[in-house]
Structure 1
Amino acid sequence: MDSYVRVREHLYPEEAFDVNTLEEWAVRQRQGDMVVWITFDGFFWFPRTLFGTEEHLYAFYDKPEVIGMFRSFL
């Protein structure tokens, strides 16, 4: 858990998206010139990508404090 806390500040940039780019995309989408599809990883998916499927599910029982830490960062 300590290693994750050390790198966490580098995982989440202050601005995940450039607002100007999103505004340009919105205009093009309204005009019918572009399809925009944006997805967000939530509480369940992010730890799964770090641990792998099986270890992630075991972590709910074996490491509830780690799962709680991920939840608190959202």
Structure 2
Amino acid sequence: MDNYSSILLNATNGTIVEEVCNGNTTKICCQFIIKITVDQSLSSTADRSKYTYHLAAFNGVRSFSGIRDGE
């Protein structure tokens, strides 16, 4: 998992501004601006606690089913 960096997203109401970076020699950074609104009527607190969200940056080569590679 050296090619990935992530931080846990606090999924409560509000605006989140974060930057996640990965890489030593060549660094890649992803900037996130996220607005979260939780509709309290759609699910209980217990239901929402089943989910965990992360903001992530990937620095490497990814194969798309062996057909193409992307960086």
Q: TM-score range by the shorter chain?
A: under 0.3
Give the greater-gyration-radius structure (CA). Answer: 1
Q: Greater helix share, 1 or 2?
A: 1
Q: Greater strand share, 1 or 2?
A: 2
Question: TM-score if structure 1 supplies the norm length?
Answer: 0.24
Question: TM-score if structure 2 supplies the norm length?
Answer: 0.24
Which structure is higher in RCO with an 8 Å CA cutoff and minimum separation 6?
2
